[in-house]
Amino acid sequence: MSIIIYPPISDWNWMKQRPQHLMSQLAKRGHHVFYCNKTTAAPFVEEIEPHLFLVHNHEHWLQNEWPSLYKHRQGPVGVWCTLPHLSAAIRHNYDPDWIIYDCVDDFGEWHSYEDAMITSAAAVVCSSERLYMRIRRWFPKKQVELIRNAYDPQMQLHLPHALRADARKINENQVGYVGAWAPWIDDTLIRKLSLIRGTETVIVGPEFGKKFPVLIDSSNLRFLGLKRHDELAPFIHSFGVCILPFRITPLTLSVNPVKVYEYLAAGKPVVSTALPECEQMAPLVDVAASRDAFIEIVKHRLKHPGDAAARTKYALEHTWEHRGDAVQSLLESLQLD
């Protein structure tokens, strides 16, 4: 089995995202995975799951432990990376047998770095169809796979509300968004939502590159800020309708939102702006072509929630275990394990 490294890009403990889930799935399949955290705490290396090691001080590990691991390795060394500008550093630091570039965002400033990364990569994995089509078009000779995001059953959102020990009271008139308050959030849409008579709009998530505006002052709007990943489920369960209030930009057109799988797992009605990846999930997800249409759909779903069981079923058919199977199949097809 491979030694697989995820370079120090994000903090494992901040919020469980796609890389953490996929690295965990590879460790479950017997690969030795080193997730290099952006921390310097002791111990320097911590085994958090069987075969999954959290590296807390990358520089120390790279200088003092990696040389011996590399020398005595019993399988190939691979690197899984989501940032294209790290191509040269990956080669210098790890001298890997293979690299997988996981293309998860469409930041225009990243495009100039992708040529070097994709040229050196054994394959490219994309999280949305729009990203997949772009990479296929720009790099027709490279193997490219579409592996979307997924639901984490450990959140237990799919369990009936009555069976949850941490269940909050369901507020059928509460409209909720779980995610970062970021530049891609449509403030105007949120303001309109907060004016729906008899409802409350709740935002759960950190400020990320954008301050929550004080000017949105409404008794029907609450901003709760950052919550730990293991605290999110009760909030999602308590909402009457869950929303994805994203602006339509090149970035959001390419996103496959993890939160939509979580909303669906809880059986909640989901209303989204016109994101292509959400359109793929219709009719389980209601997609609005305009702000006014968004408001009307939310009003409808507050009164007529729809088929909760079908939504939960979809989420359970699209878990991180399913994505782990797809990644393992890719490694086997490339003979990388």
Report pLDDT digits (tens) over 17-75: 899 999 999 999 999 999 999 888 777 899 999 999 999 999 999 999 999 999 999 99
Rounded to an integer, the average pLDDT of 97-114 is: 95
Rounded to an integer, the average pLDDT of 92-119 is: 96
Q: Between 250 and 1, whose confidence is greater?
A: 250
Q: Indicate the pLDDT class of residue 169, thresholds 50, 70 and 90.
A: low
Q: Indicate the pLDDT class of residue 14, thresholds 50, 70 and 90.
A: low
- Distance of alpha carbon 306 from alpha carbon 302, whole angstroms: 10
| Residues 208 and 306 reside in one and the same domain | yes
Answer yes or no: is pLDDT of 148 > 80: yes
CATH no. for residue 121?
A: 3.40.50.2000
Q: Tokens 């959030």 label which residue?
A: 185
| Percentage of the chain exceeding pLDDT 70 | 93
Q: Which domain holds residue 252?
A: 153-316
Find out whether 235 and 203 touch, Cβ atoms under 8 Å.
no
The residue among 265, 257, 211 whose CA lies nearest residue 239 is: 265
| Percentage of the chain exceeding pLDDT 90 | 80
Q: Which two tokens stand for residue 42?
A: 């002791």
| Residues 270 and 176 reside in one and the same domain | yes
pLDDT at 43: 77
Pairs from 329-332 (Cβ < 8 Å, separation ≥ 24): 330/100, 330/123, 330/125, 330/145, 330/147, 331/2, 331/78
- Tell me the chain's radius of gyration from C-alpha atoms: 21
Least confidently predicted of 134-148, 184-198, 259-273: 184-198
Answer yes or no: is pLDDT of 85 > 90: yes
In sequence order, the β-bridge partners of residue 163 are: none
| Residues 78 and 183 reside in one and the same domain | no
| Residues 235 and 112 reside in one and the same domain | no
pLDDT at 39: 82
Q: Between 214 and 119, whose confidence is greater?
A: 119
Q: Where are the alpha helices (H) located in the chain, listed in sequence order? A: 18-28, 58-64, 66-71, 87-94, 111-120, 129-138, 187-193, 232-238, 250-253, 258-265, 276-279, 291-303, 308-316, 320-333
| Residues 103 and 201 reside in one and the same domain | no
Query: Per-residue pLDDT tens for 217-263?
Result: 567 888 999 888 888 999 999 999 999 999 999 999 999 999 999 99
pLDDT at 218: 65
| Residues 302 and 157 reside in one and the same domain | yes
Answer yes or no: is pLDDT of 15 > 80: no
Beta 77-81 vs 52-55: how paired, if at all? unpaired
- Distance of alpha carbon 133 from alpha carbon 145, whole angstroms: 10
Q: Indicate the pLDDT class of residue 211, thresholds 50, 70 and 90.
A: confident
pLDDT at 170: 65
- Distance of alpha carbon 186 from alpha carbon 246, whole angstroms: 5
Answer yes or no: is pLDDT of 163 > 90: no
pLDDT at 307: 97
Answer yes or no: is pLDDT of 213 > 80: no
Q: How many domains are contained in the chain? A: 2
| Residues 215 and 240 reside in one and the same domain | yes
Answer yes or no: is pLDDT of 2 > 60: yes
pLDDT at 164: 52
| Residues 161 and 310 reside in one and the same domain | yes
The residue among 14, 249, 251, 248 whose CA lies nearest residue 110 is: 251
| Residues 136 and 252 reside in one and the same domain | no
pLDDT at 214: 57
| Residues 33 and 117 reside in one and the same domain | yes
pLDDT at 220: 85
Rounded to an integer, the average pLDDT of 264-270 is: 97
State how far the alpha carbon of 202 is from the alpha carbons of 21, 152, 267, 323, in Å.
Answer: 27, 23, 18, 31
| Residues 135 and 247 reside in one and the same domain | no
pTM score of the predicted model: 0.93
| Residues 324 and 180 reside in one and the same domain | no
pLDDT at 10: 83
